[in-house]
Amino acid sequence: MSLKGKDILGMRDLTEEEIVDILDSADSFKEISEREIKKVPALRGRTIINLFLEPSTRTRTSFEIAGKRLSADVINISGSGSSLAKGETLMDTARNLEAMRPDILVLRHSGPGAPHMIAKLLKSSVINAGDGAHEHPSQALLDLLTIRQNKKELKGLKVAIVGDISHSRVARSNILAMNTLGMKVTVVGPPTMIPVEIEKLGVSVEYNLERAIRDVDVILMLRIQLERQESLLFSSLREYSNLYGLTSEKLKKAPSDVLIIHPGPVNRGVEISPDVMDGPHSLILDQVTNGVAVRMALMYLLLGANLETNN
């Protein structure tokens, strides 16, 4: 089993079969993290560089742990500590890193398309760990894995994605992946946070949260970025929270077996109330656990093809 492409840039590029293969592999890798000795030699002698040019705790740590549990050598580079801070262009930084012969470059960047440009330039595999408001494929995959572990089948499931859709790479990657898998997506938020012509991506739009969650299987809550208030997208946190905050009161409108996921970090009490976050529907910490397994699967599958041909 391996992936067709050299890189993982977005859910748009992955077929249904590839997504299922990744989820299946992730399911089997999950067990490694439950062992006392959490390490297998699969990627021994391989080098993975995490180039994170935007703040990240969860995703960077998750990629690092995933690489280490597969015995790869993992190097972390952050924006402020890199030569980009000295004025080097991203392309030159990438060329220089490539000259040290890494196998995978994991890139987090604020600019949509940045990993795509790098991927064209490099022979190494590139994993997009989030490019601006564009895509965040490993997040969508870990969301799908978490949902699949709790529902029999993904096909046909109804999902509400709630929050700032305009600025969310998590929303875009999930929409694309869920469409590929035959799931039905509704995006929910104030009109200021719903980008134009989003219907063309194959989703429906709903402005009322309670109406939107009436018959869904999954609610994906997005983080509200507090600084967006200044860019005229909402009036006040209080009003946003009243309209789109997921409280136990609003949750009564949803089916009793609804799943709640959130990519983190959570603004407790803003987009989701503390009791719902810690309640029985919430799978937020499972997502984090699954993140490691999904990233192990991605690394393994990207390099797996080479392993087979080399041996």
Partner 1 sequence: MKLIIKNGRVIDPANGLDGLHDVLIDKGKIAAVAKPGGLSGEESGAKILEADGKVVAPGFVDMHVHFREPGYEYKETIQSGCESAAAGGFTTVAVMPNTDPINDNRSVTELIQNVAQAKGAVNVLVIGAITTGLKGTKLAEMTDMREAGAIAFSDDGKPVMDSEMMRRAFEYSRLFDVPLIQHSEILELTSGGCMNEGAVSTELGLKGMPTEAEDIMVYRDIALLERTGGRLHVAHISSAGAVDLVRMAKAKGLPVTCEAAPHHFTLTDEAVRGFDTNAKMSPPLRALKDVHAIKEGLKDSTIDIIATDHAPHDVVGKEVEFDKACFGIIGLETALPLTLRLVDDKTITLRQAVEKLTSRPAEIFNLDCGSLSVGANADAVIFDPEAEYVFDMSHIKSKSKNSPFLGWKMKGKILHTLVRGKTVFKAEI
Instruction: Point out which residues bind partner 1 (CB under 8 A).
Output: 89-91, 109-114, 116-117, 131-135, 167, 169, 172, 195-198, 200-201
Residue 46 or 167 having the CB closest to partner 1: 167
Nearer to partner 1 (CB atom), residue 84 or residue 251: 84
Do residues 186 and 219 lie in contact, with contact meaning Cβ atoms separated by under 8 Å? no
Residue 310 Cβ vs partner 1, minimum distance, rounded to whole Å:
31
Instruction: Give the nearer residue to partner 1 in terms of CB position, either 110 or 248.
Output: 110
Shortest distance in whole angstroms from residue 109 CB to partner 1: 7
Assigned token pair, 282: 């919430």
Which CB atom, from 144 or from 187, has the smaller least distance to partner 1?
187
CB 106 within 8 A of CB 8: no
DSSP run (H or E) holding 5? none
Taking CA atoms, 142 is separated from 218, 238, 284, in Å, by 14, 31, 11
Contact 295, 56 (CB under 8 A): no
What is the closest distance, in whole angstroms, from the C-beta atom of residue 102 to partner 1 in the complex?
20
* 100: alpha, beta or left? (left if phi > 0; alpha if psi -120 to 50): alpha
Closer by beta carbon to partner 1, 23 or else 114 = 114
Give the DSSP H/E element, type plus range, for residue 222.
none
- Cα angle 293-246-136, degrees, rounded to a multiple of 5: 35
Could you tell me if 296 and 41 are in contact, meaning their C-beta atoms sit under 8 angstroms apart?
A: no
Beta carbon nearer to partner 1, 146 or 168: 168
Q: Which is nearer to partner 1, 46 or 134 (CB)?
A: 134
In the complex, least distance from residue 280 CB atom to partner 1, rounded to whole angstroms: 34
What letter would DSSP give residue 12? G
Q: Minimum Å distance from CB 168 to partner 1?
A: 8
Q: What angle do CA 266, 190, 187 make, to 5 degrees?
A: 75
Q: How far is the CB of 187 from partner 1 (least distance, A)?
A: 11
Q: How many angstroms separate the Cα of 188 from the Cα of each of 164, 184, 210, 279? A: 8, 13, 10, 22
We find the least distance from the C-beta atom of residue 12 to partner 1, in angstroms, to be: 8
Nearer to partner 1, 187 or 302 (CB): 187
**Cβ closer to partner 1: 74 or 90?**
90
Name the minimum Å distance from CB 172 to partner 1. Answer: 6
Give the contacts of 258 (CB within 8 A, at least 6 positions apart): 213, 216, 217, 218, 219, 251, 281
Q: Measured from the CB of residue 121, what is the shortest distance to partner 1 in angstroms? A: 9
| Residue that has been written with the tokens 């000295």 in this structure | 86
Q: Report the alpha-carbon distance of residue 167 to residue 158 in Å, rounded.
A: 22
**CB hemisphere CA count around 180 (13 angstroms):** 20
